[in-house]
Structure 1
Amino acid sequence: MEKIRVGVIGCGSIAQKRHLLEYASNDLVEIVAVCDLNEQRVSDVAMQYGVKAYTDYKELLTNIEIDAISVCLPNYLHAEVSIAALNSGKHVLCEKPMATSKEEAEAMIAAADENGKKLMIAHNQRFVSSHEKAKKLIAAGEIGKVYSFRTTFGHGGPERWSIDGKGSWFFRKEQAFIGAMGDLGVHKSDLIRYLLGKEVVEVGAMVETNAKEETSVDDNAVCILKLEDGIIGTLTASWAYSPQSDNSTVIYGEKGIIRLEDDPDYSLILQYNNGETIKYELPQIQSNEKGRQTKTHVIDHFIDCIVDNTLSPVSGEEGFKSLAVILAALKSKETKTIVDLKQLLQKEKGIKL
């Protein structure tokens, strides 16, 4: 079988610590090119992997040897570069959030459809062992009807992980568009949709900038979400959780509670109403913390859907629905109202919530 030839656009931390490492470990992949505006950075990465270096993504996209692209760029470039890659006949794996508006997201989905190429959004929390197990338990009725949830993602901020530290694009609104809500919150909106198999229908949010200096994007947000069937819960995203990060989710049902990544030793704990408790020993969720850069499985799923010609496991439509929750949170903050997601997105073509 011929290998899938891959190019990576953007050589920052997410590319170096996840995409490139996981492509290199996949036997079905050959990395052939990397691109970054920083000449020294792209030269160093290209030398490390023995591939061609580009400083202009448009030039990279003319390389007919490349089958697929990873888009690992600041948020405001996600749609532009993804659409260009799809139009050049490449499959695309785009980092989250997939876009900065519903119009951009819709254009990305249309480009994938028109060109017959795969578009996948890198929502890696779906592939965490505890989350996959929890989805099966919930679907099997282990905790009965779901009533509520809380899901949280917080750490000390991107300056601790971004290749550019405090000077990172994450803190510049013109490049990031949104702060902790786009960096972390969108992971959790995607996760809760995945776990419960229900869509978010209403969003209320308080979104603030109160922890970081010299930034125009949010660093703390608390949202109340209402899902189909009346399920309600909270979503929290923060760049102010220091020194201890939190990436936990708790699901409350009629028969018991499922705790995910909420215990230092057990990634999933199932507590029944009768007092019985089951503790599952599963691989821990990936973290940006030193020593916990474990495999996300995003790359493997992306490559498999290309090789097997199957549906993308996190399609553009799925990525958009998770982004829509974050867009609604911003709208809620601006208007100080509860936002009806269906009403907000009613003009969208081909996307049903």
Structure 2
Amino acid sequence: MVGTGTMGTLHLEAWKNAGSCEAVAVIGRTEQNIIQLAEQFNVKGFHHLQTALEQLPIDIVDVCVPTHLHEEVIEIAAQAGKAVICEKPLAADAKTARRIVDLCEKYDVPLFVGHVLRFSPEYKAARQQVINGAIGKPGVMRLTRGCPYPKGRDEWYRDESKSGGVLLDLGIHDFDWLLWTFGEVERVMAKRIKRENLEYALVTLRFASGAIAHVTLSWGITKFSASFELAGSEGMITYKSSDQDPVVVELFHEIDRKQERVAVPSYLVERTPLEDQLQHFADCLENMRSAIVTAADAVKVIEVAEAALESVKIGQPIQLKKGGVLK
């Protein structure tokens, strides 16, 4: 595990719960975090990946460092012949992403990229309903995603050259799911505002099929939220994360001050989407199967996010060639 921040911790917990692989090392930059996670998960702690690779039998390198550091870490892992699992986005720009893909192909190592919405129950079910024709011909989709402004060491999220900002780092979730579900994007239009601890964007995607998606993204709200409305010629599918709180407590003091009511949703997942994702990647390695998320998918969605960033810059729609490459 390379990365000792929040995402690295989540991945360590997910590997532990999934039970398919044993985490043996954590690699990070901060001494305190390395010691804490090494003790918490009973693994070895290192400052450098190369040292860990020389001292321990390692099959998979799980990359959870900031986006702009992905390439240098993956290069070390690929040169050592290790399979790579990398957090999204694969890189901060498509050119770097393509270099990473070429690098892994050169050293013949598997490359898996973590686009976790493909493993989220609500988004998986909605996609399957769309494919099954439940809404008829897709017409207009509206998706939202928001969370508090992210904080990272050296505040790297604020540097768009490192993180890609809200359009890449956050928007890539919905962009990837939309491409997976509705196919090629031909045209992108985006608007964005940036303030201290706030970044807000509106993106319109036109698909080759003629369908349109409106995506609203925000860094700066107080609590995570996500939603979608998928409208077609025969119906609509809707989802709001606020309706899926695992436990809601309501007190009725007018009846009995000690009376409580606990409402539980109709289903509780046995494994989180992240655990399912990592288990899927591990199964692909063990059984030599192709992953749901391909390296080409990871590059293509970055190209769409880049088109949105370019649209913001010039204030005009961006037309994409077939395959997602900018014209």
Same fold (TM over 0.5): yes
SS at match of 2:77: helix
- Give the match for residue 259 of structure 1: 238
Q: Matches of 2:85 and 2:120 in 1, distance apart? A: 18
1:191 corresponds to 2:177? yes
Q: Percent identity?
A: 27
Q: How big is each residue's C-alpha offset from its partner over 1:252-309, in whole Å with a ceiling of 9 and x where there is no partner?
A: 1000000123561599xxxxxxxxxxxx94558x9xxxxxx77542211111111111
Q: How big is each residue's C-alpha offset from its partner over 1:181-234, in whole Å with a ceiling of 9 and x where there is no partner?
A: 2221111101111232x1211111112212527xxxxx2111110111111121
TM-score of the aligned structures, taking structure 1 as reference length: 0.80
Amino acid at match of 2:188: V
Which of residues 151, 165, 172 in structure 2 aligns to 1:179? Answer: 165
SS at match of 1:120: strand
- Give the match for residue 98 of structure 2: 106
- Give the match for residue 82 of structure 1: 74
- Give the match for residue 235 of structure 1: 215
Amino acid at match of 2:233: E
- Give the match for residue 300 of structure 1: 279
- Which stretch shifts more, 59-68 or 147-156? 59-68
Q: How does 1:86-165 map to 2 (within 5 A)?
A: 86-159=78-151
Q: How big is each residue's C-alpha offset from its partner over 1:130-165, in whole Å with a ceiling of 9 and x where there is no partner?
A: 111111111111111001101111122224xx5x5x
- Could you tell me how far 1:347 is from its partner in structure 2? 8.6
- Could you tell me how far 1:80 is from its partner in structure 2? 2.2
| Contact 1:204-1:224 within 8 A present in 2 as well | yes
Structure number with larger C-alpha Rg: 2
Q: How big is each residue's C-alpha offset from its partner over 1:20-60, in whole Å with a ceiling of 9 and x where there is no partner?
A: 01111233211111111111111111122222211122323
- Could you tell me how far 1:84 is from its partner in structure 2? 2.5
SS at match of 1:337: coil
Q: Matches of 1:137 and 1:174 in 2, distance apart? A: 37
SS at match of 2:230: strand
Amino acid at match of 2:205: L
SS at match of 2:57: coil
SS at match of 2:25: strand
| Contact 1:93-1:119 within 8 A present in 2 as well | yes
Q: How big is each residue's C-alpha offset from its partner over 1:281-340, in whole Å with a ceiling of 9 and x where there is no partner?
A: 4558x9xxxxxx775422111111111111122121111111111111111111222111
- Give the match for residue 60 of structure 1: 52
Amino acid at match of 1:205: A
Which of residues 4, 7, 18 in structure 2 aligns to 1:11? Answer: 4
| Contact 1:131-1:195 within 8 A present in 2 as well | no
Amino acid at match of 1:145: K
Any stretches of 5+ residues in structure 1 without a counterpart? Answer: 1-7, 214-218, 268-279, 287-292, 349-353
Q: Matches of 1:249 and 1:296 in 2, distance apart? A: 23
- Could you tell me how far 1:97 is from its partner in structure 2? 1.1
1:169 corresponds to 2:149? no
Amino acid at match of 1:103: K
Amino acid at match of 1:195: T
Q: Residues 201 and 299 from structure 1, CA distance in 2 versus in 1: closer, same or farther, beyond 3 angstroms?
A: same
**CA-atom RMSD, angstroms?**
2.6
Q: Residues 212 and 80 from structure 1, CA distance in 2 versus in 1: closer, same or farther, beyond 3 angstroms?
A: same
SS at match of 1:9: coil
Amino acid at match of 1:212: N
1:207 corresponds to 2:186? no
| Contact 1:266-1:281 within 8 A present in 2 as well | no
TM-score of the aligned structures, taking structure 2 as reference length: 0.86
| Contact 2:304-2:324 within 8 A present in 1 as well | no
- Could you tell me how far 1:241 is from its partner in structure 2? 2.4
Q: Residues 140 and 344 from structure 1, CA distance in 2 versus in 1: closer, same or farther, beyond 3 angstroms?
A: closer
SS at match of 1:314: coil
Deviant stretches of 4+, over 4 Å: 280-284, 293-296, 343-348
| Contact 1:211-1:240 within 8 A present in 2 as well | no
| Contact 1:226-1:232 within 8 A present in 2 as well | yes
Any stretches of 5+ residues in structure 2 without a counterpart? Answer: 247-264
Q: Residues 262 and 56 from structure 1, CA distance in 2 versus in 1: closer, same or farther, beyond 3 angstroms?
A: closer
Amino acid at match of 2:213: G
SS at match of 2:139: strand
- Which stretch shifts more, 36-45 or 338-347? 338-347
Q: Matches of 1:262 and 1:56 in 2, distance apart? A: 39
The number of residues matched between the two structures is 308
- Give the match for residue 321 of structure 2: 342
- Give the match for residue 49 of structure 1: 41
Q: Matches of 1:53 and 1:202 in 2, distance apart? A: 46
SS at match of 2:226: coil
Q: Matches of 1:346 and 1:59 in 2, distance apart? A: 38
Amino acid at match of 2:225: D
